[in-house]
Structure 1
Amino acid sequence: MEERKTIAVAVIGNDQLDLSLFSKILVNNELSPYECGYTDLPERDFSSVRLFFLFPPDDNSLLAATAAKLSETKSNTIVIVASNEMYRSLPQEIIEMVHDHLVYPSDTFTTVSKLRLYRSFLIPCLTSVAENELEDLKSKVLELEEQNISKDKFFAIIAHDLKNPFTGFLGFSEYIAKYYDEITKEDLGDFSVRMYDSARLVYDLIENLLAWSRLRTGNIAFEPIRLNLSETTEHVLKLCEQSVIKKEINLVNTLPKRIEVFADGNMLDTVVRNVITNAIKFTPRGGVIHVGHMYETGKTVMFVADSGVGIPEDIQKKMFRLGYRVSNDGTDGETGTGLGLILSKEFMLKNDGDLYFESKPGNGTKFFISLPNVN
């Protein structure tokens, strides 16, 4: 087996605790850090180092002088390690001299992703980095930054969508607490249904969030086995039966009794449930939902077609992407976040499959769940 190369990097700052903690992260990602204070820089030989992590000191002029000195070697890559607030407070002249900003402290997934990115660009040339390669590095880093911004927007949307059902839940429970001796039996029943709907929405959202988080951090169980897709679908349809009856939807299931696929059972159940509940949500009262299947090379494809409102073209481009609100209220006022479909897409990719759709505004939507054949 080829031996993995360890890249020498420099970590410069005045807080020894920050340097030590950050250096441990670097070591775990096959980077060999040299720790150094700003006052010790003139005495250090960094001729073999091409990647520098700078923790900003209190003196911006000292940081500017250090960045300028390191920039004299064109192949050097300079990364500021700081909080978003601290980074935004830096003078523009410093920001223009550095190649990237690594948020610290940050979630492990984002930090490790960037460190792997730096490493992949520096391995081919440990002693020198061509200018065009540095530009490629900048481009990749900017792309990763965009993903982080989208993730921040996404969590802002989630926070907002968590607040709404809680507001309703708290409102109803407060009213019951104040006027419990005046509430009629009919009103109490109505309040109970509304409180249940709010609690169910929060529960489903948290379940999806936890599953998405476990998937992103690699902490989710993944055990693909031979499964009967028809059996999974029947189970989901049974769970959704009351919603179908309530909206008087004509649900047609043409799946044969047995369709064998190769997938993780829990993930497949989540995907089928999210796609079918989404179809019910956007199908008007008295509408039609058709569940069927077809075959492609090496794949079994299940489809869920509805006669609903369809997806606007501007939203279609944002489907399955973090940081965008793509979920409107359903035809009966049902609410949602769009997280379920994002999670389902990632689950399908994890299973060597895919989730995609066709839609025309006003003419319904058809979702396709593609999975590997057992053979």
Structure 2
Amino acid sequence: MAFKRWRTVLAEAAHADRMLVLALLAGVVLGGVLLWSHASDRVRAFETALGGQIRTRAGALDMQMRVAVGHLEALRQRAEFFYAEYPAPEDVPASSLLTAFLASNTRNDRLLGYSLDRLPPPYLVDQIGNVVALPLAALGTDTHLSRPDDAGWRQEAAMAVQLLPLMAVTQKVVPETRRLIYASLSGMVAVHPWVESGQADLLPQAGTLPAFVNAAPAVNPEGKPVWTLVGPVGDLPASAMLALPLTLQGRYAGAIAIDMPITGLRSVLGAVTRTSSMLLLVDAKGDVITGSSQRSDQPLPRNIADLFPDGQVADGTLSHGILGNHVVAIPLKQAPWRVVYIAPSGASLLPILTDMLISVAGFLAAVLVVVFVARRLMLRALAVRDTAALAEREARDAAEKALTDLRAAHDELDFLNREKTRFFSLISHDLRGPFNSMLGMTQELADHAPKMKPDEVADFARSVHEMARKVFELLENLLQWSRVQMSGTPFAPAIFPMREVVSDAIRDVASAAQGKEITILDAVGDRWVLADRTMILAVLRNLLMNAVKFSHQGGVVHVTSRALGDRLEVAVTDKGVGMEPAQLDLALRGGPKASRPGTQGETGTGLGLTLVRDLVLRHGGELKLESTPGRGTIASFTVPLSTDPAETRRLMSRAAD
């Protein structure tokens, strides 16, 4: 009986041991499952954050490329608009830049080229680029290049020099740009920044450089922007050229390109900070364009196939398990390239193993410790998710801001197009009236002059003269305003007495004032100013014409001045019809506008005050208008004060004695 009893006790003990072992095994399995699940969550959170960061970097590079493409489109549109504005070579106006370019080979020597090595004032080499052309004799050695007739070639040169100011703006907006190039099949190159013609290495390659060959219609029939990698340095290219074909009057004329150093693209992508990680920019063939790694002694691969045996990397965020690499591949929209980021397994393995060890130790120590550690890990996982969500929100906010900026730019361009249409409508309307009247009167003279009395003929002639004067004033204002807008009017300040310019302006408007019996009183005084005489004369002439136009028959117009510190304020005052507040606000706005009729029905161009405002701004001054309906208007502006040069020399001589 005793033996059986001990046997039963031993059997129960053995059964209890097996249950304990099974319970321990079940606990270990459950803990392992929980730990594996936690590790998988950490890997996914890590990949989400990593993908958001790389998308932000790729978006920044894509946005920079979009800005570059947009500015190339603007340059191409300006070139096409030039040919639309001046379709015939004889219509092309002569500018100071074009004159300097043609003067570099005045004899049209076949062995000499053309250049802007000597820029005309006020242009400086650090503000504008150069235009260089091959000698005519050199064109025969290159089958890709051919120059049109002299008139057509001069027309293209005029277009090229007009592109230089816009190229300067583009380089400021796209700071990664090394230079901008317009390469023509006529052997002409416009390049910014300025470089001496002897150093313009692109000139002999205008017809054969891969970037321009790839942009030609034979390779690029749709005329899209083309990216070309050029100039390898070691195993990597030195720069990327974005080229856009230019078609003028139905013929392929050449291409406009932006040369962006690879180092600039790499700086936009940024550096990597994770251990043994790589950030690569890869082309469509898988070749590595540029990139960076966390270790300076780690060379970049030549092709993505060197890192992946199959050579294929799908777009998106990929994972090769906890022990494998993490890969993010983001395609660019503005270029046929991809941004690829590779993080080694250790980037996520070390924190995961740390958590697992802490969790195992807590699980083996006590359930409470396991719960505490699990809660801690959960908080960490939530923090990682919050970081990823924040990065995604920042990327979305950046994209929305960029979209808002693009919409604003589009709205501004649409506004400018509407203003242009309205401007041409105003000009055509203002020109049509006087020309119709002159045509009618001259036809009347042609048909009935022999039968008319001399007084009647003289009256007709005075009317025709008055209308011709109005047309001349319209065209003069239009020409001056367009030159100011295109920066075609050189700014040449000099010291002169303001009284002389006021007298000239009064003499210019004398006939209009006499027709309305208006007296113009000059009370400017003996003041000397430092300004552009031609511009100030145009300002005074327009202000006086407005004063006469809106004054009543037999009125008086005053021209006065007063010193305000180092500036002179000149005011033109009339006692005419004045302006309502809404009319005053409209008059102070920039751009052409509809003109109000004068007291005797006089018409204008709507450009007078706009031209005055732009010319005063060129002198660092300000145009002010004060008006009361029915009581008149005061128009004033400021220019820099100076002293009489002769008086200054006399005082200096006395001081020396």
Q: One fold, TM greater than 0.5? A: yes
Matched residue, 2:490: 221
Kindly report which structure 2 residues correspond to 1:163-202, keeping only aligned pairs within 5 A, or say none.
Answer: 163-202=432-471
State which drifts further: 17-26 or 207-216. 17-26
Residue deviations 1:143-182 (CA, integer Å, cap 9, x gap): 2331232122112101110111000000001111112222
**Mapped partners of 1:198, 1:31: distance in 2:** 56
Kindly report the root-mean-square deviation, in angstroms, between the aligned alpha carbons of the 2 structures: 3.6
Q: Name the CA distance, whole Å, in 2 between partners of 1:156 and 1:305.
A: 31
For residues 105-184 of structure 1, what are the structure 2 equivalents within 5 Å?
Answer: 130-184=399-453
Q: Deviations over 1:127-157 (max 9, x none)?
A: x964313312321332233123212211210
Q: Which runs of 5+ in 2 are unaligned?
A: 1-125, 127-170, 181-213, 226-243, 248-252, 262-282, 290-329, 336-396, 644-657
Instruction: Please tell me the residue identity of whatever aligns with 2:484.
Output: L
Residue type at the aligned position of 2:177: T
What's the counterpart of residue 244 of structure 1? 513
CA distance in 1, matches of 2:400, 2:475: 46
Q: Quick check: 1:310 aligned with 2:535?
A: no
Structure 1 residues 204, 244: closer, same or farther in 2, change over 3 A?
Answer: closer
Structure 2 residue matching 1:195: 3-state secondary structure:
helix
The DSSP-based 3-state class of the residue aligned with 2:450 is coil
Which residue matches 1:363? 631
In 2, Cα distance between equivalents of 1:31 and 1:187: 72
Q: Distance in 2 between matches of 1:270 and 1:30?
A: 43
TM-score where L is the length of structure 1: 0.67
Which residue of 2 is the match for residue 341 of structure 1?
609
Instruction: Return the alpha-carbon distance in structure 1 between the equivalents of residues 422 and 578 of structure 2.
Output: 25
Are the aligned partners of 1:74 and 1:131 in contact in 2 as well (CA < 8 Å)? no
Distance 1:242 1:213, change over 3 A: closer
Assess if the C-alpha contact under 8 Å between 2:577 and 2:632 holds in 1: yes
1:212 corresponds to which residue? 481
1:273 to 522, 541, 544: 541
Aligned counterparts of 2:642 and 2:614: Cα–Cα separation in 1: 20
Deviations 1:183-215 (A, max 9, x none): 221111111011111111111111111112222
More contact order relative to length (CA 8 Å, sep ≥ 6): 1
Cα 1:131–1:165, aligned 2, differ >3 Å: closer, same or farther? same
Paired residues of 2:584 and 2:625 also in contact (CA < 8 A)? no
**Structure 1 unaligned blocks of 5 or more:** 33-41, 49-72, 79-127
Q: After superposition, give the CA deviation of every residue in 1:86-129 in whole Å (9 maximum; x if it has no partner).
A: xxxxxxxxxxxxxxxxxxxxxxxxxxxxxxxxxxxxxxxxxx96
User: How far, CA to CA, are the matches of 2:260 and 2:608 in structure 1?
Assistant: 37
Partners of 1:261 and 1:198 lie apart in 2 by 35
Q: Write the distance in 2 (CA, Å) between the matches of 1:308 and 1:276.
A: 12
Identity of aligned residues (%): 30
Task: Tell me the secondary structure at the aligned position of residue 401 of structure 2.
Answer: helix
Separation (CA, whole Å) in 2 of partners of 1:17 and 1:218: 31
Query: C-alpha offsets along residues 18-41 of structure 1, whole Å, 9 cap, x if unaligned?
Result: 9510796743x7779xxxxxxxxx
Are 1:282 and 1:309, in contact at CA under 8 Å, matched by a contact in 2? yes
2:561 touches 2:571 (CA, 8 Å); kept in 1? yes
Alignment length (residue pairs)? 289
| Preserved contact between residue 246 and residue 256 of structure 2 (Cα < 8 Å) | no
TM-score, with structure 2 as normaliser: 0.40
> How far apart are 1:77 and its partner, in Å?
7.9
Distance 1:177 1:26, change over 3 A: same
The higher radius of gyration belongs to 2
Q: Which amino acid aligns with 1:163?
A: R
Compared CA separation, residues 317 and 351, structure 1 to 2 (3 A): same
